[in-house]
Amino acid sequence: MPNRLAAATSPYLQQHADNPVDWHEWGDAAFEEAARRDVPVLVSVGYAACHWCHVMAHESFEDEAVAALMNEHFVCVKVDREERPDVDAVYMAATQATTGSGGWPMTVFTTPLGEPFFCGTYYPPRRVQQMPAFTEVLAAISAAWTGRRDEVVASAAALVQALAQTPEVGPAAGPGYEDVTGLALTRLATTFDEARGGFGGAPKFPPTTALEWLLRRHARSGDASALTMADRTIEAMVRGGMYDQLGGGFARYSVDATWTVPHFEKMLDDNAGLLRVLLHAWRLTGSDLARRAAGETADWLVRDLRTSQGGFASSLDADSDGHEGTYYVWTPDELRAELGADEGDWAASALAVTVAGTFEHGRSVLQRRSDPADHARLDAALARLRTARARRTPPARDDKVVTGWNGLAIAALAEAGALLDRPDLTAAAVGTADLLLTVHTRRADDGSARLVRASRDGTAGTAPGLLEDYAHTADGYLALAAVTGDHRWTTTAGDLLDTVLTRFAAADGGFEDTADDETDAVVARVGRPRARTDGPAPNGQSAAAGALLTFSALTGSLRHREAAERALRGPLTVATTYPRAAGAALAVVEALLDGPREVAVVGPADDPRTDDLHRTALRATAPGLVVARGTPIPDRDAPALLHDRPLVDGRPAAYVCRGFVCDLPTTSPDDLERQLARTG
């Protein structure tokens, strides 16, 4: 039976008319009823386009048991902030004064006189981090009102008196996580090679996941030391011999501490992860070096690893013509032969090619330790050397298409297409996603989405997918959805994550690396494996945590967020002792501490103003940023983040939410950029 709000003029209030909560509209009658019953007033403030308002309504206000608690112990008032901005302003000031932040939904408990004594925003139906469940809040407030009435009333009076003097402060960080990241950063700094970049001595592997964490940490907190370590390491890698100065892309690792001589094998998973790091570094700092390397690495992926079916091959060998590095190294005489004496000598100096050689047999790995004054001259020399190198025997290619690694490539190329204004790269990501969907995915007898580990020449293998395959592929689909606005990828990612939750769950709350019904019999006897540390790519648990967190932000699913946090427990156990092995988990933590921030961009698909807002959102540096694009009437696959998001005065609009609360919508890209640039 509809409640009192059925007669309200506000569409937002009418949305709650069928709640089992005995809602009142704002007015004297509600407070008179509270005085008569001698109970506090629960004031819930929101608006129709507030995503987390609808999430809390679905989770709590539509729940019969929760509604019974609310009705028994409180008089409940629902307020549309757009209809009553005066009420909103009073209680928002109280909320900001007591919690350090504000937003919608806003949940305020008052005396029958309307004096606030406890304020908050979104409360989940179950604990998240140390955010209490809504039912716990209700019980605690009721107990305080009945058992410590004088204290509550005095607190309310003091708060009302102090509101004007209370300064605004930033939102509190998630308890525990901030300490972990701080200790991990301190530990990582002790191994940082200030002179040569990277961490530790020889051999040096690209610290890909740690770099992503450091960039996110700086973006969230402004930590200068995090940016310094990331920036110096990225520059050292790109300028050294581990980076292919002619063709783009990175070798697997450097055999020395100076990033000079690589192990020449080039891997898809390394390069997909490093491409994303380069993009995020450029987005954060504007580094021309990072942008150049990102573009070159993306081009290398598409040119040298893309298969005819649209996937990406696993690797290129280190050897050609029976010797390691033959394809990549040069002597001064070879440079002179290709470029002429003068240009050859100049190029040798610019590219660190010496008579003695930096590699074997007097040959050198090309490096660009500094930029010459004449960029055009170097570009011309490099172009001629690329042509010459193409006449050499190339390294052999491993053409198997590994599912998870291709998921990493989808995410990297989708972002590269968006950030570098390269629709060809986005198209490549879509082609790879289509291949994974058609060749690598099947439906099990129980209806769940299942992945194979790999394919070759368009034929799926028989080995089942691992946790990392599901997690990286889901993450790739979510990145593709953010860039393209094609919501089928969000739905498809959700299908994979459902399988993760049901088939990979471990008894202690984390995830195993193999599905419970697809574990090899021998492996099962020994014990299902579970990686806790990162390799070249994020481990399965950390990757799953990141994808689950993104999906939860898009859909409002508390189940997925809780699973994300459980998945972090294992990887974080090594974070403070060996942070390089937990970079992916720490990167997800930065997203959790930041919210993550969520942006819904709504407007006609063919309106350039929609494009401008979308582009602005994608270029924001907030860690773990979640972006969804849709039309005023979303399609059936559109995630909940896009629901109830109207145009503003007929113009495309962007809606920003953070930490379960939402800002007011904006139609201005500049204003959106300012909203997303806020730290703390």
Task: Round the average pLDDT of the chain to a whole number and report it.
Answer: 93
Options 1.50.10.20, 3.30.70.20, 1.10.3080.10, 1.20.910.10; CATH for 401-594 is 1.50.10.20
**What is the enclosing helix (H) or strand (E) of 598?**
strand 598-602
CATH of domain 4-165: 3.40.30.10
d(CA 317, CA 473): 25
Look at residue 172 and tell me whether its pLDDT is greater than 60: no
Each residue's pLDDT tens digit, 226-262: 999 999 999 999 999 999 999 999 999 999 999 999 9
Total-model pTM: 0.89
Look at residue 168 and tell me whether its pLDDT is greater than 60: no
Each residue's pLDDT tens digit, 631-663: 988 788 899 999 989 999 999 999 999 877 888
Distance from the first to the final alpha carbon of the chain = 44
Look at residue 171 and tell me whether its pLDDT is greater than 70: no
pLDDT-based confidence at 425, cuts 50/70/90? very high
Joined together, the tokens standing for residue 512 give: 């195993």
Burial of 457 per CB tally in 10 Å (0-12, 13-18, 19+):
exposed
> Dihedral, CA atoms, 419, 422, 425, 427, nearest 10 degrees?
110
Q: Nearest to residue 118, comparing CAs of 108, 129, 104?
A: 108
Instruction: Find the range with the poorest average confidence among 121-125, 150-154, 211-215.
Output: 150-154
Look at residue 165 and tell me whether its pLDDT is greater than 60: no
* Sequence-separated (6 or more) residues with CB below 8 Å from residue 474: 407, 493, 494, 496, 497, 500, 547, 551
At 174 the pLDDT is 40
User: Helix/strand/coil (H, E, C) string of 522-576?
Assistant: HHHHHCCCCCCCCCCCCCHHHHHHHHHHHHHHHHCCHHHHHHHHHHHHHHHCCCC
d(CA 62, CA 608): 39
pLDDT-based confidence at 8, cuts 50/70/90? confident
Each residue's pLDDT tens digit, 377-394: 999 999 999 999 999 999
At 531 the pLDDT is 85
At 166 the pLDDT is 37
Q: E strands within 423-542?
A: 441-443, 449-451, 454-456, 459-460
Look at residue 169 and tell me whether its pLDDT is greater than 70: no
Assess contact for 436 and 407: CB atoms under 8 A.
yes
For 222, other C-beta atoms within 10 Å of its C-beta total 11
Assess contact for 564 and 546: CB atoms under 8 A.
yes
Instruction: Find the range with the poorest average confidence among 20-24, 173-177, 290-294.
Output: 173-177
Each residue's pLDDT tens digit, 448-462: 999 999 999 999 998
d(CA 199, CA 190): 9
Look at residue 175 and tell me whether its pLDDT is greater than 60: no
Joined together, the tokens standing for residue 345 give: 């000598």
At 170 the pLDDT is 32
At 397 the pLDDT is 92
Task: Tell whether the torsion through CA atoms of 435, 441, 443 and 445 is positive or negative.
Answer: positive
Each residue's pLDDT tens digit, 48-68: 878 889 899 999 999 999 999
Percentage of residues in the chain having pLDDT higher than 70? 98
Higher pLDDT, 48 or 612: 612
d(CA 645, CA 666): 11
